[in-house]
Amino acid sequence: MVERVKVSFESGGADCAGYLYRPAEQDGRLSCVVLCHGFSGTMDRLFPHAERFAAEGLAALVFDYRGFGESDGEPRQLADVDGQQEDLRAAIAFARSSEYVDPGAVLLWGNSLGGAHAISVAADDPSIVGVMAQIPFNGFPKRVEGRSRWQTVQLLGAIGWDALRGKLGLPPYYIPMIGRPGELAVAATAEADQHIQTLTGGGTTTLWRNSIAPRALLGMMRYHPQKAAARLSMPLLVCVAADDHETPIETTRALAEQAPRGELRSYPGTHFTFYTDATTREQVLDDQIAFARRCLEHS
């Protein structure tokens, strides 16, 4: 049986909301996995993962970055790389301060952009005992499938306009995160409806919003976590999808190759298969739990 408690912690002047999962019957301090979601995501899509870790005897902390989901912070829907890394460090500090957590047995788990943050933050925190990066971001692909040159120009224009508004102290110029082919969106795909269903849990969540401040993409253009991967002192498990077009294996494999103790595992499917296919998700979680146990045994 798993217990879940709503928690909050301060980061950068905002209160970040989260949930701490733990096995109900276990006493004493537990090893803990801190989970961080991806670009535009919200923590509710990670509840099944946290429940699984807790069912295996670990504590698990999920949270929303500032400006997203249940957390405070303005402007909303702005995925600032530095701010989200600060939020992750605050989440780690909160976990270590919990009466239920062994502060010397904390692991990080990140999905997509969250995987990049997990690697980057762990590189400067040698007390982290292991990192799991799932379909992690490691720079944008050179070519985005299905995006024309004109659509690229439109997106760059939206990024520039939103960045200018930010410098002038004006509210963001929001665009959709997911759109159909030809629409102005961060990701305009033929599977737009399916992707939205994935991010909303089939309409069961009210947390995710199909809206993003595109200036965030400027910071991501300069973000290459493989440099941080080379400085990791702890083991790193990189889980990738063989047919991923958002974070293609051509870029993500470099994270495992650069890490001194890196390990790469590939699974069939796309960037969204880890959520839409329960069999794949459970297989990946099996491998991640086994990896976490090995890290804890040797820490």
**Stated pTM of the model:** 0.94
CB count within 10 Å of CB 25 equals 9
Q: Tell me what pLDDT residue 272 has.
A: 79
Cα separation, 222 vs 220, whole angstroms: 5
State how far the Cα of 131 lies from the Cα of 258, in Å rounded to an integer.
Answer: 14
Residue with tokens 């090893």: 31
163 domain-assigned? no
pLDDT score at 204: 58
Please tell me the predicted confidence (pLDDT) of residue 201. Answer: 66
What does the pLDDT read at residue 203?
57
pLDDT of residue 147: 67
Residues paired with residue 30 on neighbouring β-strands, in sequence order: 101
Assign residue 78 the CATH number of its domain.
3.40.50.1820
- The answer to the question of residue 37 being in a domain is yes
Contacts of residue 211, defined as CB under 8 A and 6 or more positions apart, other chains included, come to: 77, 174, 175, 176, 177
Q: How many folded domains does the chain comprise?
A: 1
Residue 122 in domain: yes
Task: Render the burial of 188-207: b for 16+ CB within 10 Å, e for the rest.
Answer: bbeebeebbebbbbeeeeeb
What are the residues facing 109 on neighbouring strands?
A: 35, 132
214 within a domain of the structure (yes/no):
no
Question: Quick check: is 254 in a domain?
Answer: yes
Mean pLDDT per 10-residue segment, the chain (299 residues)? 96 97 90 96 94 97 98 97 98 97 98 97 98 95 69 93 97 93 84 70 72 96 95 98 88 96 94 83 96 94
Residue 70: inside a domain, yes or no?
yes
Residue 59 lies in a domain: yes
Q: Which residues form the domain of 111?
A: 2-143+222-297
Q: What is the pLDDT of residue 179?
A: 87
Q: Whole-angstrom Cα distance, residue 39 to residue 116? A: 10
Both tokens assigned to 33:
């996995």
Q: State the Rg of the chain over Cα.
A: 18
In a domain, 272, yes or no: yes
Q: How far is residue 132's CA from residue 107's CA, in Å, rounded to a whole number?
A: 8
